[in-house]
Structure 1
Amino acid sequence: MTEILPATTRIEGRFNGPNRSGNGGYVAGLVGSRIPGSTGAAATVDLRTPPPLDHDLGWQVRGDELDLVDGETVVASGRPGTLDADDPLVAAVDRDLAAAARDAYEGYDEHPFPRCFTCGTDREPGDGLRVFSGPLPDGRMACPWVPHEAFGDAEGLLAPAYTWAALDCPGGWAAHIKEKPMVLARMTAALYRRPRIGEECVVLGALRGVERRKNHAATALYAADGELLGRAEQIWITIDIAEFA
């Protein structure tokens, strides 16, 4: 681990998933993007406890692993990861078909976390990402999406943590988060090219399987011409939503 880490990191309140804890994809991106060699390669991040908001957190290095810590508590732990070969579950889809799916986004009517940074309907453009993935005829989730200028870096690209966040929630919706609320527990992601601010994109999510409380999902981010920009595999854990209210 050669990167000079900040003494502390704070997850601002606006980067929430549930109201009182951090957005899983965003927090995973804070950690995963700091794993050596993660540019263009996969990193795996385990979220071990609900990430606290507006609270100073520290960093801890253990060999090739990196922990985001709250005192003695490990909030998230990252390490180099691997992804399966190209996943047909998240093969590219036509933008017009994705637009029709977005119109049917299930979160418009009822949403377990309406202020979620990634998929919350109560967030305005530039405040939240507004990734509203709806059902395709084949059961996958998809939507067109354009990165807002508020989320760009100095190079005019979508910043890494926001790119991880964009890859987050479509997996939860594919796993039926509306019927059985869940939170992200593990995310393995690879970013091949971060999109430019204002670039037309398509986001996809698919359910891979269910194992008791574990919901396995896959997501992908594409450019309008079908170029694969990034993809992820995830584990979501079904929760009692009252504990996250």
Structure 2
Amino acid sequence: MVGTVTLLGQNITIASRFCGPPQSGNGGYVAGLLAKAMPAGCQVTLHAPPPLDAPLTLSAADDGMQLHHEGRLLASARPYELAMTVPPAPSIDASSAAQQRFEGIVRHDLPGCFVCGPNRDPGDGLRIFAGPLDDPKQSVAALWTPDASLADRDETVASEFLWAALDCPGFFAVRPVSGLALLGRFAARLLEPVRVGETLIVNGWAIRHDGRKHQTGTALYRENGSLVAFAEATWISIPGR
């Protein structure tokens, strides 16, 4: 059973395990927490880094949700029906080969990231190492087998971890153009539950670049290629990096 968040009324505490940068929560994971509180599909905007191991306030606002820390807005969610064209799944063999080319093994800006950090041990981080596919497009792929620590009450993977898994592969799809970038907006659509221990194909691709903004798509598929979940994200390049 996952020990993901502490819910005390409307308070949330993000455990240090779920970091992106060393002192703040992984963006996809945080977005997934807000999405879990929404009655339908949503888009999450990240306004400021959510601190770890600190009481955060989750509250309703207009038709969405907001996350605050000591009065500072950290993230907001609004209703959003995600629709996008998702490419066919890469093959298992192509995805396995791609993750061997994951550039973060050699150089990683956030090696302790919960999702893609190579410094995280199996069973602690997700260790999704999305590397370039052997094709002319800007796309990356990896394999991911979620472990039992990510299980929800029904022994399927908790939704916030599926949102997290859909996060970082998008960054590595645009990194050659964006340089170091942070997640700005994120929307995901979960189609089917995922069982603990099943292997998924993870795919990420660039959609467009507009100055410092970079739009990406990501998806999760079963081994047979059937689509499980997909997401779109906007990444913001950090000047000078």
When the two structures are superposed, what TM-score results if normalisation uses the length of structure 2? 0.92
Is structure 2 residue 48 aligned with structure 1 residue 43?
no
The answer to whether the 8 Å contact 2:178/2:214 transfers is no
Q: Secondary structure at the residue paired with 1:143?
A: strand
**Alignment match, 1:85:** 84
**Alignment match, 1:185:** 184
1:177/1:44 Cα in 2 relative to 1: closer, same or farther (>3 Å)? farther
**Alignment match, 1:131:** 128
Query: What is the percentage of aligned positions where both structures have the same residue?
Result: 40
Is structure 2 residue 117 aligned with structure 1 residue 120?
yes
The residue identity in structure 2 corresponding to 1:34 is A
Structure 1 segment 40-189 matched on structure 2, within 5 A: 42-88=41-87, 91-138=88-135, 139-176=138-175, 180-189=179-188
The answer to whether the 8 Å contact 2:140/2:204 transfers is yes
**Alignment match, 2:34:** 31
Distance (Å, rounded) in 2 between the aligned partners of 1:169 and 1:131:
8
The answer to whether the 8 Å contact 1:58/1:68 transfers is yes
Distance (Å, rounded) in 2 between the aligned partners of 1:149 and 1:106:
27
Distance (Å, rounded) in 2 between the aligned partners of 1:235 and 1:177:
15
Of the three residues 24, 27, 37, the one matched with 1:21 is 24
**Alignment match, 2:194:** 195
1:148/1:177 Cα in 2 relative to 1: closer, same or farther (>3 Å)? farther
Distance (Å, rounded) in 1 between the aligned partners of 2:159 and 2:9:
17
Distance (Å, rounded) in 2 between the aligned partners of 1:240 and 1:9:
32
The residue identity in structure 1 corresponding to 2:18 is F
**Alignment match, 1:6:** 9
Segments of 4+ moved more than 3 angstroms: none
Distance (Å, rounded) in 1 between the aligned partners of 2:176 and 2:76:
24
1:115/1:178 Cα in 2 relative to 1: closer, same or farther (>3 Å)? farther
Q: Secondary structure at the residue paired with 2:18?
A: coil
Q: How many residues align?
A: 233
Distance (Å, rounded) in 1 between the aligned partners of 2:240 and 2:218:
23
CA apart distance, 1:7: 2.6
CA apart distance, 1:5: 7.9
The residue identity in structure 1 corresponding to 2:15 is E
CA apart distance, 1:210: 1.2
The residue identity in structure 2 corresponding to 1:222 is Y
CA apart distance, 1:188: 0.8
CA apart distance, 1:240: 5.1
The residue identity in structure 1 corresponding to 2:65 is L
The answer to whether the 8 Å contact 1:30/1:161 transfers is yes
- Segment of structure 1 superposing worse, 73-82 or 232-241: 232-241
The residue identity in structure 2 corresponding to 1:158 is V
Q: Secondary structure at the residue paired with 2:17?
A: coil
Q: Secondary structure at the residue paired with 1:33?
A: helix
Which 5+ residue runs of structure 2 have no aligned equivalent?
1-6
Distance (Å, rounded) in 1 between the aligned partners of 2:54 and 2:215:
30
1:193/1:32 Cα in 2 relative to 1: closer, same or farther (>3 Å)? same
The answer to whether the 8 Å contact 1:112/1:177 transfers is no
- Segment of structure 1 superposing worse, 112-121 or 141-150: 141-150
The residue identity in structure 1 corresponding to 2:80 is G
Deviations for 1:28-51, whole angstroms, at most 9, x for unmatched residues?
0000121112xxxx3210001111
CA apart distance, 1:71: 2.5
Which 5+ residue runs of structure 1 have no aligned equivalent?
none
